Amino acid sequence: MMFGDEVVVSGIGVILPNTRTVDDFWGNISGGRSQVGPVTRFDPAEFDVPIYTAAELADFDHHPYLPELSDTHADKYSREVLVAMSAVAEARRDAGLAALDVDPRRLGVVMSSSRGPLGWWRAAILGDDSTAFADKGAMFRGLPGTPASLSAIYTRAEGLVTTVSNACVGGHQAVGIALRELQVGAADVMLVGGHEFPILAEVVRCYQALGSGVISAERDDPTRAVRPYNRDREGFALGEGSVVLCLERRAHAEARGATPYATVLGQRTLNEAGHATTMDLTGKITAGLIGELLEDVGRTPDDVDYYCAHGTATRFNDLAESRALRVLYDDREVTALPPISSNKPIYGHTFGIAGIINVAATSLMLKHQTLAPTINLTEPDPECDHDHVGEGRRPADVDLAVSMSFAFGSQTSVVALAATG
């Protein structure tokens, strides 16, 4: 059920491939501009892995985002820490949240990361980084929760600070934790986001072990590597970076004159307690979860104008989403299902950030009253042949939207957002 003050998205911080601002992010998402390119993090031939594309973050400089962080301290932190801290600082800046605007004890940070600093651990354990354990910075570089903790210190947040690690639903669950802190009155502002740097040959091997159709082996055109709902889809590309949302009690945001992007109505998650590496393919469990969330927030499925899909371009994910909508709207023709689109072709699969990217993208769609497309949809799978906004960005009247997320471990999560009045 809903309780307490309404919660809004008052700021968005984005550090993704070729994306440093909200305008960059919206331009790429709504314009269908893929940031997937040739993989350079490792040589596929050397590691004998069939992956040639990824959405890589290059040439990042933290100084413009963290001007008060001395180089002495920054030198102790890994790239992942600095990127995540920068995204937190950018979300706060985008929200116009000055130091005196919030009581530090009522400001918190919640982050999500599927694997934490895996690249640092790999280099440290294999001896590729001879300085890995040379100073006390090893403690900062090696913990998954370090980006949240150091961001809280830098931004002077004295409220709840924690990190969720639950594969691809972690981002949604981080939103849920922050939302509850705000709704029960324990906080006024929560900075909630994710950080992920999975572009490693070892990560590729994890997904390669699941068989074909999970991770894309596209070679000719990297921008077409990820093709959700398409008949010839072959899986996802890896993506990296950090995205952070500033969630705030509406009354608090209004009191300081902030202009929100969207309202976060609620979040629900469940463990299907089924198969560890797939999800319910009947559609009934996901449809039920969406229905329960909408009941929580006083809405119905007929009120939903748009679904932001998990959309990994794997067969099971595509079918699970399509079947869930068919169950939820069993009285409608397929052509009358609400539109649903995926942003995975733009930034790849970012695991712990994926749910945060979806909520950020959905917030902007509500703000701009425009639906972002699913690109690379040229020949839809017959079971997924409904409205995926395949023609490009679409002006629309959007009041209520639902973001969906699925994860290994039999996890499902949904978030409901509404346009701000």
Identify whether residues 100 and 218 lie together within a single domain. yes
Identify whether residues 333 and 369 lie together within a single domain. yes
Q: Name 342's Cβ contacts closer than 8 Å, sequence gap at least 6.
A: 228, 229, 309, 310, 311, 312, 313, 374, 388
Based on the residue annotation, tell me whether 384 is a catalytic residue of this protein: no
Identify whether residues 270 and 230 lie together within a single domain. no
CA angle 92, 265, 97 (to 5 degrees): 15
User: Could you tell me which residues are beta bridge partners of residue 188?
Assistant: none
Number of domains the chain contains: 2
- Decide: residue 216, CB within 10 A, 0-12 exposed, 13-18 middle, 19+ buried: buried
Identify whether residues 23 and 110 lie together within a single domain. yes
**Residue 365 counted as domain residue:** yes
Identify whether residues 202 and 217 lie together within a single domain. yes
Predicted confidence at residue 132, as pLDDT, reads 84
Kindly state the tokens that stand for 162.
Answer: 């924690």
Predicted confidence at residue 2, as pLDDT, reads 43
Domain end call among 213, 235, 262 = 262
Predicted confidence at residue 139, as pLDDT, reads 84
Q: Which one is catalytic: 62, 172, 195, 349?
A: 349
Identify whether residues 273 and 193 lie together within a single domain. no
**Residue 1 counted as domain residue:** no
Q: Which one is catalytic: 62, 168, 246, 388?
A: 168
Identify whether residues 37 and 118 lie together within a single domain. yes
Identify whether residues 249 and 275 lie together within a single domain. no
Predicted confidence at residue 409, as pLDDT, reads 66
277 Rama sector, left if φ>0, alpha if ψ -120 to 50, beta otherwise: alpha
Identify whether residues 219 and 357 lie together within a single domain. no
Predicted confidence at residue 134, as pLDDT, reads 85
Q: Name 309's Cβ contacts closer than 8 Å, sequence gap at least 6.
A: 228, 321, 340, 341, 342, 374, 404
Spatial CA neighbour of 57 closest among 91, 93, 24, 94: 24
What letter would DSSP give residue 16?
Answer: B
**Residue 21 counted as domain residue:** yes
**Residue 113 counted as domain residue:** yes
Domain end call among 262, 296, 327 = 262
Domain end call among 210, 228, 262 = 262
**Residue 141 counted as domain residue:** yes
Per-residue pLDDT of the chain (421 residues; tens, 9 = 90+): 345 689 999 999 999 999 999 999 999 999 999 999 999 999 999 999 989 999 999 999 999 999 999 999 999 899 999 999 999 999 999 999 999 999 999 999 999 999 999 999 999 999 988 888 888 888 888 999 999 999 999 999 999 999 999 989 999 999 999 999 999 999 999 999 999 999 999 999 999 998 899 999 999 999 999 999 999 999 999 999 999 999 999 999 999 999 999 999 999 999 988 777 777 889 999 999 999 999 999 999 999 999 999 999 999 999 999 999 999 999 999 989 999 999 999 999 999 999 999 999 999 999 999 999 999 999 999 999 999 999 999 999 999 999 999 887 678 999 999 999 7
CA angle 228, 18, 80 (to 5 degrees): 95
Identify whether residues 127 and 30 lie together within a single domain. yes
Predicted confidence at residue 274, as pLDDT, reads 78
The secondary structure of 148-189 as a DSSP string is HHHHHHHHT--S-EEEE-BTBTHHHHHHHHHHHHHHTTS-SE
Identify whether residues 326 and 237 lie together within a single domain. no
SS3 349: strand
**Residue 2 counted as domain residue:** no
Identify whether residues 245 and 258 lie together within a single domain. yes
Q: Which one is catalytic: 62, 172, 252, 310?
A: 310
SS3 128: coil
- Please give the model's pTM, rounded to 2 decimal places: 0.96
Exposure string (b/e) for 283-309, b if CB count within 10 Å is 16 or more? bebbbbbbbebbeebebebeebbbbbb
Domain of residue 241: give its range: 7-262
CATH code, 327: 3.40.47.10
